A and B are shown apart, each in its own frame.
Chain A
């Protein structure tokens, strides 16, 4: 595969971007604009028709329907070009996007969007994704933005390209363009029966056109390609083992890298002897500042060389452990800090008066919830393959932020941006865990000394130890409810875990909501759904306890308290859809079984999950028998892919709900292996069902994260229903539920 070289493609403008109002979604730095002369564009992409988009509206439109409440919005929109598309002289369509495919299936669903607007066969479309040299700048694939933002932008680009092709035909035939029709990769003149394929129309042209965002889109209710369950693009490559993930790649002369790790977090190097390793044939040892690593002609030699390095470390004493981390967070609140980027932060969000609200309540409830550190455990560990050519470096790596990794490389090696290229092969999942570029930097550092390409693949233990974790957190809730079931007071404090979905979708007159940044002991970062999982767990667990205090059905209690606005209505709809499918309210099949329900909204998605659990009181085993999740994210682009995401999110969320937790002590991870860190397996998967609430009247939102958010409290509420025991810590039953 050859790539055009385009060092001058991207020029910088001043950044003004807030992608996610969440502190743990790593912040995007620069924003670029497309700065290519037309003739250069043609040189790069070849003859044909190229269209690129400068759009603010596509972003702004989604900001409005984001489903946020209580003044936690405030998303500013970038001004850059973010998509382009090329139709060549054969009619082949190539789309360039900085988004990456990590299992969420956007290579397929974005192609559906393009096919829809360009009126061309799905199979004629190829996506070039996540290549910093040829795709437009993109902050990263996270925050459930690919469908609402990139999908919308690509629709505009494709729609404009279609218009251009129709214009060309109209000119060629000397007819009114309104008489012509575009379909199936052709423009036809119904009155004469003439037809030209897109390839024929593009032939001889060298057009590069910027377009405004105002072109009409195919309305969601007229979709013919989107909304269909098309199979995964390149699916055959995956079932035959032919797809090359980063760890599968190989270059001529390539060496295998290994990094020497300290004995524990915070340990400092006292002494090192690399003599034995350096004496090994073909081995390159690099010791540069804090970085120590080796490269060898084969993986076994690399392991032996690493083991041959004698290093003495001085450990950092007095680090918190998993047994006292919650006290540590409460004792180490960062005062006067920046807080959560507007999500509460150091300043609480206050509505009404808590005193008045509590005074009006007949029942009050205070409770504290905790969430443990968990790990993403992407089955493909971090990996990078780096190659230098002079002072230019190219790195293939599985990351959600190719441009962020490019900048890390640029900074680490003091390079000019145009001398760094990052490419992201379709990746073996990420779940928010692959935002950073340390693996790419390490591979590049080794390759620089080795003078040969170097591949570095993390071991599972390294992935568990030296990646990052979902933040640990403490959540305190104080509330009051009237006898008639109206919640009058709601105070919610989140310590460290984050601000996503920290607000409540229930209409409560008196509220105080605050996020408190704290010091924290382990490296932490994004995780699928961010803190929404923690915040919704606390809120929805608390909601059930309040329902019990006023002796109301948990679903009726929620419906009663939901706001009477659009967002409240959409949440009501998914609650009802999940409850209907589940058979909410019917008798439980046997003693020891419990039903639970929970829901929430975030990022333009609305989710409700009903769960049935059974508890074996003798063994303490908690089994989730059924999980029914209703989800609405506007118009559904690919129902099959969406179901896959919803079911998968529920099963993944079940792990964090029941048993996943990182154990740590004295700067060491105690369970950094799959044999010691339990993830959901076949036997854990409940009977699952996804109920799609398809709102063709609403532009599509993202779907990769929100479906995960309600499973934990739904399970917790079902355990309460079965046993009368309220579990307020995630994971809830790492060792089962003893009688």
Chain B
């Protein structure tokens, strides 16, 4: 994220755009975006996992780019379009990657799932047909302590196929036989 401008560093942040909705808030500009989303807006799908941008559980999209909301000051995001996991579902229809996570069973405790999906959505936007190594490289910053990685890779492939309008052709080459 760009550094805060001098004016942004002092003034309270009073407005934020999340999932297409403008919210009125009151936050210090250096308050973590994650805390504002969770504690002020009750958008708790984004999770705290490490507080230093190392686990990816807090990942949101800012102007379409995946960002660690735990280390993003709200002041740097206030004029931008923020998308959280709560904003993916459209008119009752899950995003293809959300659906793919269900179909692949790509979760155990699921605490990492929001961040995984947000990162995966960003990947699919920039690369609609990623290879195994591309998925792994892109998602390396997201931790699943339950070790569900092969299924998450498979879910990204499944969503890619779905979004391309094709039927998925079996499971990922990376993984686990099913």
Contacts and interface: CB of A to CB of B under 8 A. Distances in A.
Interface of A: 102-105, 229, 231-232, 235-236, 238-245, 247-248, 250, 256, 298-300, 377-381, 426-429, 431, 457, 459-461, 640-641, 643-645, 647-652, 673-675, 679-683, 685, 687-690
B143 A429 contact: no
Contacts of A235: 101-102, 107
Given A232-B107, A248-B38, A644-B105, A240 B85 contact: yes
10 contacts: A239-B107, A241-B85, A244-B44, A245-B111, A380-B109, A460-B51, A673-B52, A674-B143, A682-B149, A688-B176
Interface in B98-130: 98-99, 101-103, 105, 107-114, 117
A236 B31 contact: no
Contact of B52 (A242, A298, A675): A675
Give the interface centre of B47, B94, B105, B114 by most chain A CB atoms within 10 Å: B105
Nearest to A704: B108
Interface of B: 28, 31, 35, 38-39, 42-52, 54-55, 57, 84-86, 88-89, 94, 98-99, 101-103, 105, 107-114, 117, 135-137, 139-153, 174-178
B84 A299 contact: no
B109 A428 contact: yes
Contacts of B149: 651, 680-682, 685
A548 to B, nearest CB: 31
A432 to B, nearest CB: 13
Contacts of B178: 640, 643
A643 B176 contact: yes
Contacts of B117: 239
Contact of B31 (A300, A649, A673, A679): A300
A569 to B, nearest CB: 25
Contact of A103 (B51, B54, B109, B151): B109
B49 A429 contact: no
A379 B102 contact: no
B108 A644 contact: yes
Contacts of A380: 47, 49, 109, 111
A377 B42 CA distance: 25
A252 to B, nearest CB: 12
A300 B175 contact: no
A240 B117 CA distance: 9
Given A240-B45, A242-B45, A688-B176, A428 B140 contact: no
A648 B148 contact: yes
Nearest 7 interchain pairs by C-beta: A241-B45, A103-B109, A428-B111, A651-B147, A248-B44, A648-B147, A241-B85
Nearest to B46: A241
B147 A647 contact: yes
A239 B113 contact: yes
Contact of A683 (B42, B86, B140, B175): B140
Give the interface centre of A235, A245, A426 by most chain B CB atoms within 10 Å: A235
A584 to B, nearest CB: 17
Given A248-B38, A683-B140, A103 B147 contact: no
A229 to B, nearest CB: 8
Give the interface centre of A379, A380, A679, A687 by most chain B CB atoms within 10 Å: A379
Contacts of B45: 240-242
A557 B18 CA distance: 62
B49 A460 contact: yes
Give the interface centre of B57, B98, B111 by most chain A CB atoms within 10 Å: B111
Contacts of B51: 459-461
Nearest to B145: A379
Nearest to B141: A681
Contacts of B43: 241
Contacts of B35: 299-300
B148 A460 contact: no
A454 to B, nearest CB: 14
Nearest to B97: A239
Given A240-B88, A248-B38, 15 more contacts: A232-B107, A241-B46, A241-B86, A247-B44, A378-B109, A378-B145, A380-B47, A429-B146, A643-B176, A643-B178, A647-B147, A648-B147, A652-B147, A675-B52, A685-B174
A238 B177 contact: no
A379 B47 contact: yes
Given A298-B39, A682-B136, A687 B174 contact: yes
Nearest to B117: A239
Contact of B146 (A229, A232, A652, A689): A652
Contacts of A103: 108-111, 146
Given A300-B35, A683-B136, A239 B101 contact: yes
A247 B150 contact: no
A465 to B, nearest CB: 14
B143 A379 contact: yes
B144 to A, nearest CB: 8
B54 A429 contact: no
Contact of A243 (B57, B110, B152): B110
Nearest to A652: B147
Contacts of B111: 103, 245, 378-380, 428-429
A380 B89 CA distance: 24
A642 to B, nearest CB: 11
Give the interface centre of B43, B146, B177 by most chain A CB atoms within 10 Å: B146
Contacts of A299: 35, 39
A378 B49 CA distance: 9
A240 B108 contact: no
A245 B35 CA distance: 15
A549 to B, nearest CB: 35
B114 A241 contact: yes
B150 A688 contact: yes
B57 to A, nearest CB: 6
A689 B85 contact: no
Contacts of A229: 105
A350 to B, nearest CB: 39
